[in-house]
Structure 1
């Protein structure tokens, strides 16, 4: 099958989508990996969150089990709710990296991170479109698509969905943290978005976000074929389209059938990880006119260089090194934010605690707005996105408060009642 290098809605964006090569899955294969290992993905999440520095291990999951990982429509819906939390879990770390850059410095780096944040919010909406598309309206009438209190991660956190990125031997299991703009933060960002080798076997967990979404793609395809009338029975009025998302550039699409769902997943994975590692090395991949996947944007910041048209994929995307125009990256022009701040850290300072609460109220209001939009009021989405400006203002108030130990306060991204 011919490789698709670029996304349909943005011909200049690199894409990672592995073709579904085997759709003839027999009844014997429908026995889920979950039934053999853990009952639900939420159980996996809970186990990961409780894990210490030792690697989290499961029974081996052969590649063929990815194709039948999702065993039912209920499990598919649960995985999509997990995907919502997965996309959300990346936004606060990226925002901390962005907010801690001092005004006037790291202009290119800030613009790159900001573009990633916007797209991660887009990903949440695309996942919501897929979930709405396969959900019986009668079962959600009058209800919100997700629970804001339950979806907010507690940092540091494992990636939801049983996604365990590879780390060097002897290092603790990967956790997502809230960090200031730094080399450590960029290493974290790159680890989150790093592609896994599509030919490598999955042995116990998903190695990347892309592999998790591949299981969802197979689940959508198989269940849709096996269900009389198909699984796309949702209310089209709950779909978010380009007209509801300012500046989306047509990257957002409504979902009413499998083909549209695959396009949505392609957008999510393509924007995150980039080109499939199976693409031959003689293809020119890069250049100033290409809008890169998140992994490659973070690589540009790490190296302080843009990709050039002569840069190509050397064996795997993780080995693609930018050699183009340099730009300045200052690791010192940064607010020295305390890592993984919590409201409880500020309890001795009532004024500081109140500012943290005010920030979190704006954050919860932002998520409530997105939830309202994907729960039947799509026109509210633009209003919710504009709350981002207030969120930055509240974050800067915290970052300008010293803690007395050389560090400063920072946003905590925790749930509070409004």
Structure 2
């Protein structure tokens, strides 16, 4: 196993420090693999927030927003896998050395001061979500600037533009999802134009554009890019452009944030299995069931990009997407189980990889 792919390394930072003339085919394949890990890393925290919501109160705005963002990230993941294979590589997912761990940094050293954690929906969780997605130059400020996901994708795109001959178009998968929005299709990346379009979707759905906080590839009219959608939830107000100053401000309609199950933060190394703070045997069994379902999903998601027959690959991808629904049941059962002596906080999924 290539130790440089380890999810807690600073590999993205190191890759971006390489001068353009040294960004060879191996550089591009490794950068694309890191993009796959980045997209994978966002899903567990967002899913924990979504699954923790009590769907009865509220007007559904927050639930709809989180669900839309999760579907966006799933399509970004598929596009990133197509980036790897069009460069002649194969996405690596089902390996404990690359699967993102929580709590911990984003893969590759992006935003090194940010620790991504798993918990129920809360102010702190939403603040963390927005920091994951923050562009280098947001229209509204959240935190200090660091290397962003968008800047990394820009560097990868520049390498594609410098070397379009490296686009092979091999092992490209298609999954059309028009009901989830304009930019949510996983499409073959067999030309430079297709690569440019895919990276544009990934960046602008997450960060917005330099002029607007709106998602330019929305599932519904007025949908915000991820960073701004999370900031609206945090402030509990929609963004509105001040007609006098031209600045965007959180002075629009009020957002009703629903109540959420009090899932506690998953500790370093996961919930303890032994000792005085260990949960009961049934909770441990559900934790293991949850991790097994996640690990099975990662193995299933690897397979479509490993085969050369397009029809077989797309059948495998369709089956893998179906497996995603198996993650929710054990997760929500854990969120209903209180942690002894934790003031009402409950357990939740760990999203840890276990070998077969």
Larger radius of gyration: 1
Q: Determine the C-alpha separation between the residues in 1 that align with 2:260 and 2:300.
A: 31
TM-superposed deviation, 1:89: 0.8
Match of residue 26 from structure 1? none
TM-superposed deviation, 1:42: 4.3
Q: Determine the C-alpha separation between the residues in 2 that align with 1:408 and 1:154.
A: 20
Match runs of 1:66-145 below 5 Å: 68=20, 71-106=23-58, 107-135=60-88, 145=91
Q: Determine the C-alpha separation between the residues in 2 that align with 1:394 and 1:400.
A: 10
- Paired residues, number: 328
Match of residue 335 from structure 2? 399
Q: Determine the C-alpha separation between the residues in 2 that align with 1:255 and 1:105.
A: 42
Structure 2: give runs of 5+ residues left out of the alignment: 139-144, 308-312
Is 2:235 the counterpart of 1:303?
A: yes
Note closer, same or farther for the CA distance 1:231–1:285 as it changes in structure 2 (3 Å cut): closer
Q: Determine the C-alpha separation between the residues in 1 that align with 2:169 and 2:195.
A: 13
1:151 alignment partner, SS class: coil
Is 2:174 the counterpart of 1:241?
A: yes
TM-superposed deviation, 1:255: 0.5
Match of residue 148 from structure 1? 94
Instruction: Give the counterpart of 1:414 among 340, 345, 352.
Output: 352
TM-superposed deviation, 1:45: 4.2
Q: Deviations over 1:304-330 (max 9, x none)?
A: 23345x458979xxx733433223114
TM-superposed deviation, 1:145: 2.9
Match of residue 356 from structure 1? 287
Is 2:322 the counterpart of 1:386?
A: yes
Instruction: Give the counterpart of 1:345 among 255, 259, 272.
Output: 272
Match of residue 20 from structure 1? none
TM-superposed deviation, 1:369: 2.5
Note closer, same or farther for the CA distance 1:354–1:266 as it changes in structure 2 (3 Å cut): same
Q: Deviations over 1:151-197 (max 9, x none)?
A: 311112211233126xxxxxxx2211112211101110111111113
Note closer, same or farther for the CA distance 1:95–1:147 as it changes in structure 2 (3 Å cut): closer
Alignment TM-score, normalising by the size of structure 2: 0.81
TM-superposed deviation, 1:97: 1.1
Question: RMSD between aligned alpha carbons?
Answer: 3.2
Query: 2:103·2:116 contact (CA, 8 Å) conserved in 1?
Result: yes
Q: Determine the C-alpha separation between the residues in 1 that align with 2:33 and 2:118.
A: 23
Is 2:131 the counterpart of 1:191?
A: yes
Query: 2:10·2:107 contact (CA, 8 Å) conserved in 1?
Result: no
Structure 1: give runs of 5+ residues left out of the alignment: 1-39, 49-57, 166-172, 199-204, 225-229
Match of residue 329 from structure 1? 257
TM-superposed deviation, 1:382: 2.7
Alignment TM-score, normalising by the size of structure 1: 0.70
Q: Determine the C-alpha separation between the residues in 2 that align with 1:307 and 1:267.
A: 22
Query: 2:123·2:234 contact (CA, 8 Å) conserved in 1?
Result: yes
